[in-house]
Chains A and B, each alone.
Chain A
């Protein structure tokens, strides 16, 4: 099994550009999450989904949108990128009560 796959792995955006990060899992997990990781701040939850067609805001949702049209996919969108969104983004999925399976991350730089 591939587990959780994130694409792309790296991306450089100019301020104001938009992009979509894709997360795909093949474990039939109901729950999926998007986190951002910044130095000294750990992992902060952006949005999450408890099932196909559902999404909810996490700790730091501003500037991001998400969609879960298919159970296996969770998309994170940046409509107008800002330098403050420079970060490493991790997608994860879970089947409660077990822990998360993380993807390998997307390193995004906004210039």
Chain B
């Protein structure tokens, strides 16, 4: 059972446009929601993360919007650039480290292509 559902599977955006990737979860025990960026041949790298006590977090061109009541969160990439072309994973984890080992539950990934 997929704990975190991610959409779309792939996304093509023009340079300068806004890229939006969405994730949904069911487990209300999740309390940490990171996004990872992965370039071909590389491991995923932490991009930005949010906790449920805030509705939005912005770091440069990257913004996470979080809707606790809807159990949804999304990544917005403003002014998308060709260098942003990568696979993006959302994830969720809960604080019960002893039981879960701080496991992260990942979405299935979104392949983003930014066209020059």
- Contacts A50-B98, A97-B95 given: A45-B103 contact, CB under 8 Å? yes
Contact at A97–B102, with CB atoms within 8 Å?
A: yes
What sequence of 0s and 1s flags, for each residue 76-111 of chain A, a beta carbon within 8 Å of any chain B beta carbon?
000000000000001010101101111111000000
Does A43 have its Cβ within 8 Å of any Cβ on chain B?
yes
Does A56 have its Cβ within 8 Å of any Cβ on chain B?
yes
How far, in Å, is B116 (CB) from chain A's closest CB?
Answer: 26
Interface size class of B (residues with CB under 8 A): 20 to 34
Contact of A56 among B9, B95, B101, B108 (CB under 8 A): B101
What sequence of 0s and 1s flags, for each residue 42-74 of chain A, a beta carbon within 8 Å of any chain B beta carbon?
110100111000001010000000000000000
Among the 9-residue stretches B40-48, B52-60, B68-76, the one with 4 or more Cβ atoms under 8 Å from chain A is B40-48
Q: What residues on A are CB-neighbors of B41 within 8 Å?
A: 104-105
Q: What residues on A are CB-neighbors of B86 within 8 Å?
A: none
**How far is it, in angstroms, between the C-alpha of A100 and the C-alpha of B104 when the chains are bound?**
8
Q: What residues on A are CB-neighbors of B107 within 8 Å?
A: 42
Sample 6 A-B pairs with CB under 8 A, ordered by A number: A42-B89, A97-B95, A100-B44, A104-B43, A105-B41, A105-B42
